[in-house]
Chain A
Amino acid sequence: QQQVKQSPQSLIVQKGGISIINCAYENTAFDYFPWYQQFPGKGPALLIAIRPDVSEKKEGRFTISFNKSAKQFSLHIMDSQPGDSATYFCAASISGNTPLVFGKGTRLSVIA
């Protein structure tokens, strides 16, 4: 049973374009939704996170959009750069109680 479903599995975007990765969850008790970025040979690192009391959070070129009623959240990368090429994982948890549950990841390639 996969609690967090992530799509697409892979994504190719032109430099300067917008990358969009989507995640859907089932457990309405989830209240913490981070995105992690992983470069080859490295461990995942926290990129940005959101809680369900806001619908959007922006940090630089990275934005999380959150739709509580649809139980979906997405990561938007504006002005995508080749250096953004990595695997992105969405995750969810019930803060303070459960470990992070990760999606299966999206491999993003930004081409010039």
Chain B
Amino acid sequence: DSGVTQTPKHLITATGQRVTLRCSPRSGDLSVYWYQQSLDQGLQFLIHYYNGEERAKGNILERFSAQQFPDLHSELNLSSLELGDSALYFCASSVGQGSAGELFFGEGSRLTVL
């Protein structure tokens, strides 16, 4: 158990809908990263928050947004969903701002868009 909790584990929704994925980092970790995992693209970095502030953006679509709350949990919002958004979404946390330390991944939220 990594200590990172993601909910929901599975989500099935229709095109055009909006969903919210939630992540609770390990106790004491200030950084939260979101990654998208698909079969053909591997793990794609989406966005990084540190202590409530956005620190880096990757290949995140404009239809997607995220935030980190004062209690350090994070939410990833996906809107106007398309079939291609079906993927595993991982949250990872770490103690510091940088990525040179270990990232602890949750078990992911599997999103299926029909």
Interface residues of A (CB under 8 A from B): 6, 31-32, 34, 36, 41-46, 49, 89, 93, 95-105
Contact = CB atoms under 8 A, between A and B. Distances in A.
A56 B40 CA distance: 30
A contacts with B: majority SS: loop
B79 interface: no
A27 B44 CA distance: 17
A36 B90 CA distance: 14
B2 A43 contact: yes
Contacts, number: 65
- Size bin of chain B's contact surface: 20 to 34
B92 interface: yes
Contacts of A45: 2, 104-105
A101 B41 CA distance: 12
A10 to B, nearest CB: 12
